[in-house]
Amino acid sequence: MCSTDDWRDYQIEQIGEGGGHCDCCGDTTRRVWGFVKYYDEPFGAYYLGWTVGKPDHGAAFDLVLGNWSEDAPSSSRFAVSLDYRLIDGSGAFMVVDAEDRIPTQDGKPMFDVALKRTDVIGTALAPEVFAIVDAIFMSDSAGELRSWSESIL
């Protein structure tokens, strides 16, 4: 890992987006994805999904971190997942178990280990994970999410 907990040390490069419909309400969903770089070096991939205009549904932040060099095997990467929710008008991240949340690439897993919440919280990895999701949150990818707390005031 990079061993930094300053979100400004990471660069976020959105490379794709898609949409669909929410299973529970039928409203439009949005999903964006891209790369996380640490001082311009590939460090991870991110996937961010939410239901448009529905802050009460929250958002899902999924990360695949580790070695992203061109010939790196999936065994050199791991997955971490977080949920973003509004609580009393303020946004909050919560680490959740990553199983079954991270998509595959061409039908193949991009990592070998999906971390559980207990693998992250209270460890040296936690500050770095929160810095990465802060960097994603502050990027153009998450513009709507930043406006959620303002819309309920």
3-state SS of 48-87 is EEEECCCHHHCEEEEEEEECCCCCCCHHHEEEEEEEEEEE
Site of tokens 């949340």: 101
Q: Provide the residue ranges of all domains of the chain, joining segments of one domain with +.
A: 7-151
3-state secondary structure of 141: helix
Contact in structure between 82 and 129 (CB atoms under 8 Å):
yes
Determine the Cα–Cα distance for residues 64 and 132; give it in Å rounded to an integer: 11
* Per-residue tens of pLDDT for the chain, all 153 residues: 565 688 989 999 999 999 999 888 888 899 999 999 988 888 899 999 999 988 889 999 999 999 888 888 888 999 999 999 988 888 899 999 998 787 667 777 788 899 999 999 999 999 999 999 999 999 988 888 888 866 544
pLDDT of residue 39: 84
- Comparing C-alpha atoms, which of 95, 93, 94 is closest to residue 119? 95
- Residue 113 CB neighbour total at 10 angstroms: 15
Beta bridge partners of 28: 21
**Token pair for residue 116?**
């559980």
3-state secondary structure of 37: strand
